[in-house]
Structure 1
Amino acid sequence: MDEDLQAMMRDELLAEVVKLRTAVREHRDSSGHDLCWHHPDLWGTLPEQVDPDIAVPPWPKFMRGCVAYRQSLDEQAAEARIHDAEFDERR
């Protein structure tokens, strides 16, 4: 799956590392409502361009997952700043 790396020269490998680090940092630095979205741009850094075959839970189960995720942030990032803003669909 990663055979393309074998043929890359040093400069190409370094450029690939920078591209991947940039994508990971963008994902890591997501905050506020952006934490609720999947990140296809991150997946787009992979050489294989496929449409992810995602499965979406029905609303009640999905919302319970959102609540559990938010509760986990209280435990894992208890010192995080509060982002007290409504979601803006126009963004």
Structure 2
Amino acid sequence: MAPDQDLEDMSADALRVEVRRLRAAIREHRDATGHALCWHHPRMWALLPEGVDPEIEVPEWPRFLRGCVAYRESLDRQAPGAPRTDAEFER
């Protein structure tokens, strides 16, 4: 089946339900803060009807940490007025 072909067979009511479900997930992701900004998000991907398990590549530690630092630096540029926290990550 072609991606999004399932939408063709949905009623208007079913499409509205789907849009609300996707918007809720997007808002949850958008509203993530603190340490949650850095996480792998398979729940978001699971919203797609394809149901594939993405094969991820994980960078070696030094490269991974450089990426984390670059991401955190981008937050300074994109949200310079965001409050800062000193909360530790908890598993």
Same fold (TM over 0.5): yes
Q: Which residue identity is paired with 2:48?
A: L
- Between the aligned partners of 1:80 and 1:39, the Cα distance in structure 2 is 23
2:80 is matched with which residue?
Answer: 78
SS state of the match for residue 11, structure 1? Answer: helix
The Cα RMSD (Å) is 0.6
Shift of 1:61: 0.1
- Between the aligned partners of 2:90 and 2:27, the Cα distance in structure 1 is 23
- Between the aligned partners of 1:27 and 1:83, the Cα distance in structure 2 is 19
Over 6 Å off, 4+ runs: none
Shift of 1:81: 1.2
- Between the aligned partners of 2:41 and 2:29, the Cα distance in structure 1 is 7
Return the structure number with greater relative CO, CA threshold 8 A, min gap 6.
2
Structure 1: any 5+ residue segments left out of the alignment? Answer: none
Tell me the number of residue pairs that the alignment of Structure 1 and Structure 2 aligns. 89
Aligned-pair identity in percent equals: 61
Shift of 1:84: 1.5
